[in-house]
Chains A and B, each alone.
Chain A
Amino acid sequence: MVDTQSRQPAVRIAAGDAPAELKPSVLKAEVRNLDFWYGSVQALRQINMRIEQARVTALIGPSGCGKSTFLRCFNRMHDLQDNSVYAGEILFQPDNVNILDRSVDPIEVRMRIGMVFQKPNPFPKSIFENVAYGLRVRGQNNRFELADRIEMALREASLWNEVKDRLQDMAFNLSGGQQQRLCIARALATEPELLLFDEPTSALDPNATANIEDLIHRLKDKVSILIVTHNMQQAARVSDYTAFMYLGELVEFGATRALFTNPAMKQTEDYITGRYG
């Protein structure tokens, strides 16, 4: 029985938000029949979904639903564990390569797809060296070139004005929010085509969270974004598309506004109205 009262959207979406679904968009990645196992435990089941270019796609769902596991398939992070098994495809555009294929080197995938983690994880090095590391890995060691790219990345991550006079300071001397923006700058410096965010604000205070959300909003013109969040309001605020996951399956996927105002599935509705999760 569907309770008509609970059809009220839990989150009010700002009136000024242009509905993304009306704008033409370009496909960046297509997930086809994705299964994933940790050893013998199946964590993801038959996921199909599209990631559009220059859009923010949010993954929501109760903890343990597999949203982080799904995110980590995109940069083959699971390859670091011996017993992980992928099946299905993630076709990455424009070259239509299946990034899960065994013949594709995970390092090559990570060169194109960046990631920002749940807790800020700067290296115990200077601010400069943190942002420079992705470029150094790619063989860029020219000081002037590095300095240019680092300034650009720090500006994009709206951190430049706060750190420009102390680039040689240890990254640990920054506040939590600054550290997370540093990690975003570190990922941006390598000019990724797709940027993965794994609950990037869960360790931050509301002010720093707002900063990061602003940043995500501004970045999407430049890079496609896939973000995991346990915070539905955040998904509503920053994303164009939202996927609701439950027990390793993709329950519903669609334009964020439509999913929050008019969910098609009972489970989605229960979750976004706060009945469980």
Chain B
Amino acid sequence: MEAAPLIELCNVVKTLGPTRVLDGVDLKIYRGEITAVIGKSGSGKSVLLKHIIGLFEPDEGDILIEGRSRAERSAAEKRELKRKFSYVFQDTALFDFLTVFENIALPLSERRDRSPEEIGRRVREKLHQLDLDDVGEKYPSQLSGGMKKRVALARALVTDPEIVLFDEPTTGLDPIRKNAVHSMILEYQQRYGFTGVVVSHEIPDIFFIAQRVAMIDEGKIRFEGTPEEIQRAADPEVRAFIEGLESPRDDLTGIDSHPIGQKRLLQEMIRLQRHEIPFSIVLLAMESRAGTERIGGHEAGQQVFKLFANHVTQNTYITDTCFRFDINKIMVVLPDTNREQAERFCRKISRTLEGHPLLDALEENAGFRYAVRAGIAQARPGLDLGDLVAEAQQELAVFYESRP
């Protein structure tokens, strides 16, 4: 099923000053996927990204885009190619002599293929989506760091790019904003199907939105695979890097992080096999139903998710484990529990969600609505852990919906 990669880096070598920053990088990026590039600071992640967009030329090796290298293309083709890309700079790189509005309009207005009215409309739409309505006439120096990041995102997305390269889009943001940006990238990607490459330090959060992960170390790709694969990787360097950044608690919700939860699942599995103690898992997915066309909606969503996680933990026993399974999913491991009891647990949560402070957060951000889906699976001897989780995922069904 291996499709042809959209972007392929073949043995890319780049020396900057005395250091060999990239030392033979091979990487494939597939269409319609989000690829996360992780690695230590100074390991060449940004340089790699700049090679993809053509700000840097490799000393050796080649970069194939849609199967062809830049050198093979004519000047007109290169321009056409460039227009498919957008780049979100780490330090935003907003033009300080232009207003926010002009900054976002620039990539469109310099192309001169649209009328000023249409450009204005599109820019206002992006300003609205990123909750920047009031700052259009301000200059970047008058904005906070988080706002500048949003302006940079708006500027990158206003051209409807096919490929978006993000250089640490969430560095320096608080957990809610960070998760909101991730959730927005994910939603945009699902809606418009762009290909994303995200350089990030946000481990494990970035695994929630990436379909592929590449770890770069000492100028080479040390690991390439799915987020699940990298979390199970045997390579000690990869393990040390991932575990060094992972905290036992999820920084948005405060519940256990994904790897801790996975360990707990394994323990339960062993208990089941050795002592035949049954257990069940409940997967709770919070889905936005409305309001997420703006980043404010995503922020509200993350806030509600945080409260929701809190609410779920309050309804569990001390022996139960709640952990963050995905950007919008929580998994609850219920030891000594069969399917029926797990269903009762779900009903309790659903019942108590009515008239809960979650809704207060909603009123503040009027327009945001969500639904919760739940999937239950009971472990059986001989059932693989992966199959168990898959079963819960298959069973996901709406069990609560917030009122409009």
A and B are interacting partners? no
Residues of B near any A CB (own CB < 8 A)? none
